[in-house]
Amino acid sequence: MASFWKIIFKNSSVSQALRSELEDDVGFLVRPWPGLLGFTLRYLVYKPLFHRLAGMPFIYPGVYFLHLNHISLGQGVLINSNSYIYAKGGLSIGDNTLISPNCAIVAGDHDFSHGLIMESPCLNQEIIIGRDCWIGANVVVVGGVKIGDGAVVGAGAVVTSDLEPYSVNVGVPARKVGERPRGPVTLS
Instruction: Report the catalytic residues.
Output: 110
Report the C-alpha gap between 147 and 131 in whole angstroms. Answer: 9
Report the C-alpha gap between 85 and 103 in whole angstroms. Answer: 8
Which residues lie closer than 8 Å to 13 by C-beta, 6 or more apart?
A: none
Q: Which is nearer to ligand COA, 96 or 124 (CB)?
A: 96
Of 92, 96, 100, 167, the one binding ligand COA (CB under 6 A) is 100
Contact 170, 154 (CB under 8 A): yes
Residues 126-185 that bind ligand COA (CB under 6 A): 136-137, 152, 154-156, 168, 170-171, 177-178
Q: What is the dihedral of CA 134, 170, 100, 74, to 10 degrees?
A: -30
For ligand COA, what does the binding mask look like between residues 39 and 78, x meaning CB under 6 A?
A: ----------------------------------------
* Residue 165 beta carbon to ligand COA: minimum distance, rounded to whole angstroms: 15
Which helix (H) or strand (E) is 8 found in, with range?
A: helix 2-10
Q: Which is nearer to ligand COA, 18 or 177 (CB)?
A: 177
Site residues (vs ligand COA, CB under 6 A): 80, 100, 136-137, 152, 154-156, 168, 170-171, 177-178
